[in-house]
Structure 1
């Protein structure tokens, strides 16, 4: 595998947390755009499309982007990694689609809990199987505890918003979609991270992610266009189109970090950032029905504590033997 610089956890984890902050900001922007257009699928397509345009510009204007493009065809032709990794962006499209399809029924809080449960559990499995560029990572008791504490932190943080979502069997099937999407997110990060190593830069991996995701969403939207007709006119406000750049930050940093931190730890850091970003938005730009109580503040703190426990060298000898 080509040489790539390893980042120490003291640098990588803050980067993961910062990139996670972009997720609730992107969700808020895309949600507002979907309401304005009356079409959540169109909003997702615009988000992916603006991200794709930005990544094309970065790939062409920056030397590392051009160098990565030069490695794209040789990497695929020589099968340096499985070609299915080029389709990692379709997982992102599935995640966005699951938001558009189920959030109105489940609510944001329950959707978040379901997706985080899937992502953290699959993060353990992906690291154990060695699918990511960082190789195999042993499942230690502290990593399991870190996963459980992270899920508990998310449940605690969103618990004020879980009231009224219902607990009937009618929610079981809708819950399966965000759980599945969350499970696949870990594989997406591993695939993008592996491709980034072989391209020599996460820029090209992020570009390919947006190409694949935009293609799937465009096809789905065209089908919907034939059935339901066009959405409302595009809004003039510039901030409606920042969802794509937020996604570039999240995907690019994730592809960079999984080699050094592993899929699980990268995901935990991003989840902590997601909780912190959601808290900041609720405090600075609250939406109708926003509730900020003790649990809303304590949840992100517990998530950060879970990350610290997971990174401490409790089982360094066991990991070295593995």
Structure 2
């Protein structure tokens, strides 16, 4: 008697192995922080470190010359990043994945030049931070960062893909400009303060671009932070050394004066800032990491002025500008943005991981 079709299908299926079921992701224990809380706190801490770095480099620029201070800060950061290669596992595989991404053109060479923006920011710290004060300098920096983040997202330069510039986000960017205009125009010498604030505003624009391209380099390196950090400081050091060479040819080298040891620690804080940005963007996305760093910058700058004996002349106006700025950042943030899953890693990087590139490569 012939076997029915359904019986034959069951007989064939009996010899086949059932596909493995995906493992269930365990829920976090009740009462513990979610997976994004610690990275978000790290981003806030990184923003506070950036506010402190601006104070340190500004003080160094007062007695060593602004360009020389920027060269020292970037060079120290580069030396620390290079020394870290002796202790971090997986750096060779990460650079192999990065080269594969460049060959496949999933990553372009200009993505590796984010440190040019970092070098320009350190130059503006040394030039203007001491004169403007921590609060006004940080507000100008973050206003440029918030406004230009809208353009960076609209062009899709970061690892999160393209996010159109909606009217809500444009309103947030314009509100950021208003947030810095209030304390700057309320300064005793408003004309000079406004002229000085242009430089950190432009540096903030460059900082948005740097965060985006460093995120692309981190992604192409198999989620290993070292290539993005090292390339960032290498490009920044090259820019500041070139500026020092031009200064030496035109006006001669400055003669640095003596200063306290903490004035020379800006490069160490720069390492903290860049590494924090790379790691937090990877875990919680550009949006949450950017908002966390902005909040840390603003809050840190408001605390640093009184602690260092240089409170802003109109502290209430500065605090109001800080509130406006955090609101502007929330408006400029794209809705529904988040960290990209590992499945979005380019094919070249995924292939390098399969060959062992990703083993031990993260921090």
1:1-322 alignment runs, 5 A limit: 10-37=37-64, 39-65=65-91, 67-100=93-126, 112-140=138-166, 143-144=169-170, 146-155=172-181, 158=183, 162-166=187-191, 177-199=199-221, 200-233=223-256, 235=258, 237-259=260-282, 262-263=285-286, 265-287=288-310, 290-291=312-313, 293-304=315-326
Change (3 A) 1:261 1:163: farther
Shift in Å, 1:102: 5.9
CA distance in 1, matches of 2:213, 2:334: 26
Normalising to structure 2: TM-score of the pair?
0.70
CA contact (8 A) 1:132 1:259 kept: no
1:123 positional shift: 0.6
CA distance in 2, matches of 1:295, 1:274: 17
Distance 2:230 2:58 in 1: 23
Unpaired runs of at least 5, structure 1: 1-6, 317-322
3-state secondary structure, aligned to 1:121: helix
Contact 2:63-2:259 at 8 Å conserved across structures: no
**Aligned-residue offset at 1:300:** 4.0
Identify unmatched segments of 5+ residues in structure 2: 1-33, 338-363
Q: Which whole-Å CA distance do the structure 2 matches of 1:233 and 1:104 have between them?
A: 16
3-state SS of 1:254 partner = helix
Cα deviation for residue 240 of structure 1 reads 2.2
Whose Rg is larger? 2
In the alignment, the residues of structure 1 paired with residue 41 and residue 228 of structure 2 have an alpha-carbon distance, to the nearest angstrom, of 21
Deviates more, 1:215-224 or 1:254-263: 254-263
In the alignment, what sits opposite 1:319?
A: none
Q: CA RMSD in A?
A: 3.5
Q: 1:58 to 1:167 in 2, by over 3 A?
A: closer
Question: In 2, are the aligned partners of 1:134 and 1:260 still within 8 Å (CA)?
Answer: no
SS in 1 for 2:254: coil
Give the drift of 1:147.
4.0
Kindly tell me: are residues 14 and 302 of structure 1, through their superposed partners in 2, closer, same or farther at Cα, counting changes over 3 Å? farther
1: CA distance, partners of 2:119 / 2:49: 17
Q: Distance in 2 between matches of 1:176 and 1:310?
A: 21
Q: How many residues align?
A: 303
TM-score computed with the length of structure 1 as normaliser: 0.77
More RCO (CA 8 Å, sep 6+): 1
| Cα distance per residue 1:242-279 (max 9 Å; x no partner) | 10121112222222334555545543332221111111
Query: Which has the larger share of helix?
Result: 1
The change in CA–CA distance for 1:305 and 1:184 in structure 2 (over 3 A counts) is closer
> Structure 1 residues 188 and 139 mapped into 2: Cα distance closer, same or farther (>3 Å)?
same
